[in-house]
Amino acid sequence: MKKLLLFISICALCQVNAQIDPVQYPTFTNIEDALKSEKKVYSMSFRGKGLFNIPPQIAKLESIFFLNIMGNKLEKMDQEIFMLKELEIVNANENSIKFIPDEIGNLTKLTTLSINLNSLTSVNPNIAKLQHLKVIHLDANSLSIFPEALMEIPVLEEINLQGNQISFIADRLDQIKNLKFLNLSENQINDLGNLSFPKNLKYLELQQNAIVSLPENIFRSKKLEFLNVSDNHIKTISPRVKGLKDIVSMNLANNQLKDLPAEISQLKNLKTLILTGNPMEKSTIEKLKALMPQTQIYF
C-alpha cells in the first residue's frame, strides 16, 4: 500500500510540474547553479538526493515559488524553508518528517502542501494561518484525528488523509466551505455521528474504514458526484439517499447490505453502482435492476 501511495504522490507531482512553464520557470536541481543564475530562480528541486538537511543557501533564493524536497531523509523541515515567503507549492513527500514547525504560518502564499509518506502524528495549529491553501495531502502518516486547523481554512478545495489512523472528526467539517475533494480512506473511522459535510463537496472517499452507518447529513450533499464507502460494515442505506441529486458513481462494495431503499431509483444521474461483496439475494438483485434501468449495477 505504501508503494501505491508513493506512486500516487509521484503522479500528483507530475501534474504540478505540468502546470509550471519549464521555459519561463526552469527548475534548478543544484543549489550552486541556482545561486549563479543571472535570472530569478522560481523553481527548485532536491528530489531523491538523500539529503538530511536542505542546503542553507536556499534562503538567498527569495523568489522561489515551487520547492520539491521529495524522497530525501529529512526528519524536520529546515528553518530556511520558512524564509521563502513567495512559496506557493511545496512537495515534501517520502521523508521522515515528524512534525510541522510553528513557522509554517510564515508561508502565507502557499496554495499546495504535500507531506505524504512521512511520520506526522499531528498537524501544527499554525497551519490555519495559510488562508490561501487550496490543496493539502497528508497521506500515509500517523494522524489519529482529523486536523482541526484545516477547518479554519475555508478556501481549501482538496484534502487527502488516506492511510492514517484517524478515528475522530470534529463536527465542524462544513466550515471548509470550498471543499470539493475529501479522501479519508484507509483510516480507523467507525462512527461519523451526524457529521455535517461542506455543501460544495463533489468527491468523498471513505473506503476501508469500519463505518457501520452513514450520517443522515451526507445525503444533503446535493453536489456530491462520487461516493466510495466500500469495505466497511454498513448494513443499511437511508431512504434519504434520494437527496444525492448529482451523484454519478456510488461504490458500496464489500459491506453488509441485504437491500437498498426504493428511493435510490430517484437518482437519475447515477451511472455506476457497485454492490459486489454484499449478501444480496437474487430476487433483490433483480428488483434493483428493474428499479434502475439507467444505472450500470455491479453485483
pLDDT digits (tens, 9 = 90+) for 75-103: 999 999 999 999 999 999 999 999 999 99
pLDDT of 158: 98
User: What mean pLDDT is predicted for residues 202-226?
Assistant: 97
In percent, the amount of the chain with pLDDT more than 70 equals: 92
Residue 211 covered by a domain: yes
Does 133 lie in the same domain as 193?
Answer: no
Does 109 lie in the same domain as 23?
Answer: yes
Q: Tell me the three cell numbers of residue 123.
A: 498537524
Residue 282 covered by a domain: yes
pLDDT of 242: 97
pLDDT of 25: 81
Identify the CATH number of the domain in which residue 264 sits.
3.80.10.10
Statement: residue 7 has pLDDT above 70: no
The string of pLDDT tens digits covering residues 128-153 is 999 999 999 999 999 999 999 999 99
Residue 154 covered by a domain: no
Domain boundary pick from 125, 142, 159: 142
Statement: residue 228 has pLDDT above 70: yes
Does 76 lie in the same domain as 200?
Answer: no
Domain that holds residue 280: 186-299
Mean pLDDT over all residues of the chain? 93
Burial category of 50 from C-beta neighbours within 10 Å (exposed 0-12, middle 13-18, buried 19 and up): exposed
Rounded CA-CA distance 256/212 in Å is 9
Q: How many CB atoms lie within 10 A of CB 294?
A: 10
Does 203 lie in the same domain as 107?
Answer: no
Statement: residue 284 has pLDDT above 70: yes
Residue 58 covered by a domain: yes
**Domains held by the chain: number:** 2
Does 129 lie in the same domain as 191?
Answer: no
Statement: residue 73 has pLDDT above 70: yes
Residue 193 covered by a domain: yes
User: What mean pLDDT is predicted for residues 59-82?
Assistant: 97
Rounded CA-CA distance 118/140 in Å is 7
Rounded CA-CA distance 179/136 in Å is 11
Statement: residue 17 has pLDDT above 60: no
Asked if residues 98 and 74 have their Cβ atoms less than 8 Å apart, the reply is no
Residue 158 covered by a domain: no
Does 134 lie in the same domain as 3?
Answer: yes
Asked if residues 255 and 277 have their Cβ atoms less than 8 Å apart, the reply is yes
pLDDT band for position 22 (cuts 50, 70, 90): low
> What's the whole-model pTM score?
0.92
Domain boundary pick from 142, 168, 194: 142
